[in-house]
Amino acid sequence: MERNLNTSHAVTETVVSHSTVESSEKLPLSTKISYGLGDFGSQLFWTFSGSYLTIFYTDIVGLTPAIVAMIMLISRIWDGINDPMMGMIADRTKSRHGRFRPYILYGTPLLALFSVLTFTAPGFGGSLEAKIAWAIFTYIGLGMLFTLVNLPYGSLGAVITKDPGERTALSSFRMLSTNLGTILLSIITMPLIVFFSGGAGEQITARGYTITAFILALIAVPMLYLVFFKCKEVVQPTYTGKISFEKSLKAIFTSKSLICIFFILLLSLTAFFGRIGIQIYYYLYVIERMDLVALFMPLPAIGAVFGIMLFARFAKRFGKKRMLYIAYTGSALSLVFLYFVDYSNLPLLFAGTFVFGLMQFSTPIVVAMVPDAIDEIEHKNGIRIDGTAYAATSLSTKFASALGGAGTVALLGYFGYKANAEQTAEAINGINVVVNIAPAVLFLIAIVPVMLYGLTEDKLKTIQDDLNQRASS
């Protein structure tokens, strides 16, 4: 890998001038589409594992919900160390490809490999300990490689352009592609798993999951490479000297705006990922309509596509905070509605699920707030730490995925869920609570850090004007 990494912890602290920009023109549509497709590919790795790995572990590998929860928590504890390290390393990378793009180039094939290995189930002679060790190794490896690729990918959004409107556009293209990737997964994944397991009427097998993971990896790799070739790093720090890790960490932990963004994402995505991870239990064991999984699963993502196109643009007119209030309140109300709908009333179940998806226009708004916080950090501390800042938000996403996955699967065990068995009335109601009421509560709590977020549009404009003035002088 062509890079020159400075990993010393005891380096001289320096003040960095405001970033220079080689071009202030509007981004070409091809660049926006290419950037968005990167998250389309990422979803074929991460959302696939988030949606199906829990049921793969419990119903195929034979692990208990408690063991699955433990594996997910161990992985996320390591992420708490790994993600900030990766962000700081990326900030200090020097190569002819820039600070972030080399990791997409070299890390993508490894990510594809581990996405397949994670969905393999070696017998190990029936040894439960060996199965657990394999699950921990592959899942932690998948998480580390996803960080290696996706954190630099996310950081690119702040260095492709410094124009706030173009950053929001990039974020919207990214989130549209995220949901389109989720829609594709929802439509094709279960049919592929069933087909490669031997067809309808046959028991679902590990082979079905493994081959499906391989096919999705083949689709995802070219999309991430398109990001590498089409998305150039335009915003560059003018100072190329050394910045201490201590100064980077201090800048992150003293940024109220970034801390608020962290908790907004943590709470809202814990609700979202937690629901994604166990919604299949709801369709298989509560509604008892396996034939409708391919219709129900993509509905939230389809709704999100429409929501982003219809509502995300109003953030500029009405403000990001106001739109987040609407989104999180609407998400909570739609889930409470789904909890009380009769399981056999399919039209209302479809409608409520679609409205829930419609309210997910919030995500691109929050993601677009991250470059704003990076500008504020640069204004306050004189250093630009795109990678480290995105590591913090990436960490919130990882924690959300773990808490959502581990928490919901632990609750399933608490309510009496038994794999591959007819569920009791208590277990059925428990699945309904975990799928709908629990995430509704988290969406409402997410409103609190939104209220505490103080970087308004007017304040941001003042900061950017001052940064531009500093750069010109």
Instruction: Name the nearest CA neighbour of 169 among 363, 34, 364.
Output: 364
What is the enclosing helix (H) or strand (E) of 237? Answer: none
Cβ neighbours of residue 10 under 8 Å, at least 6 residues apart? 244
Taking the CA atoms of 219, 222, 225 and 227 in sequence, report the sign of the dihedral they define: negative
* 12 located within any domain: no
> How many other C-beta atoms are found inside a 10 Å radius of the C-beta of residue 64?
14
Q: Is residue 8 part of a domain?
A: no
238: in domain: no
Q: What's the pTM value of the predicted model, to 2 decimals?
A: 0.70
Q: What is the DSSP letter of 463?
A: H
Hey, what are 161's tokens?
Answer: 């352009």
Give the separation between CA 473 and CA 468, rounded to whole angstroms: 9
> Residue 378 corresponds to which tokens in the numbers above?
């640069």
Burial class (CB in 10 A: 0-12, 13-18, 19+), 368: buried
Q: For the segment 376-394, what is each residue's pLDDT rounded down to a tens digit?
A: 888 888 777 777 787 777 7
Residue 23 included in any domain = no
CATH number of the domain encompassing residue 199: 1.20.1250.20
Where the chain has pLDDT below 70, the residues are 1-25, 164, 200-201, 235-243, 419-420, 471, 473
Distances (CA, A) of 338 to 82, 255, 290, 334, 374: 38, 38, 18, 6, 38
User: What angle do helix axes 256-281 and 320-340 make, rounded to 10 degrees?
Assistant: 20
Structure tokens, 339: 């909890």
* Domain assignment present for 146: yes
Domain assignment present for residue 123? The answer is yes
In this structure, are residues 339 and 314 in contact, taking their beta carbons and an 8 Å threshold? no
Contact 144, 82 (CB under 8 A): yes
> CB count, 10 Å around CB of 323?
21
Report residue 335 as tokens. Answer: 């889930």
Between CA 155 and CA 158 the distance in angstroms is 6
For residue 231, the SS3 value is coil
DSSP run (H or E) holding 361: none
Q: Is residue 435 part of a domain?
A: yes
Domain that holds residue 63: 30-231+244-472
The residues with which 235 forms a beta bridge, in sequence order, are 21
- Pick from 182, 76, 92, 100: which is nearest to 148 by CA? 100
For 45, the token pair is 């790795």
For 2, 227, 410, the CA distances from 224, given in Å and listed in that order, are: 18, 5, 34
Distance from C-alpha of 345 to C-alpha of 420, rounded to nearest angstrom: 25
Phi, psi of 236 (to 5 degrees): -125, 140
Helix (H, G, I), strand (E, B) or coil at 199: coil
Rounded Cα distance, 397 and 273, in Å? 9
Q: Fill in the amino acid letter for 373.
A: A
Both ends of the chain: CA-CA distance in Å? Answer: 36
Which contiguous run of DSSP H or E holds residue 236?
Answer: strand 235-236
Residue 227 within a domain: yes
The CA distance from 44 to 119, in Å, is 13
Cα–Cα distance measured from residue 223 to residue 250, given in angstroms and rounded to the nearest whole number: 35
How many domains, in total, are found in the chain? 1
Enumerate the H helices of 7-100 as residue ranges.
29-56, 65-91
With a CB cutoff of 8 Å and minimum separation 6, the contacts of 150 are 42, 46, 394
pLDDT of residue 24: 47
Instruction: Give the separation between CA 302 and CA 309, rounded to whole angstroms.
Output: 11
User: What residues contact 446, with CB distance under 8 A and at least 6 apart?
Assistant: 263, 264, 267, 268, 271, 328
Rg value, the chain, Cα: 22
50, with CB counted inside 10 A (0-12, 13-18, 19+), is buried
Please give the biggest Cα pair distance in the chain.
Answer: 72
The amino acid sitting at 335 is L
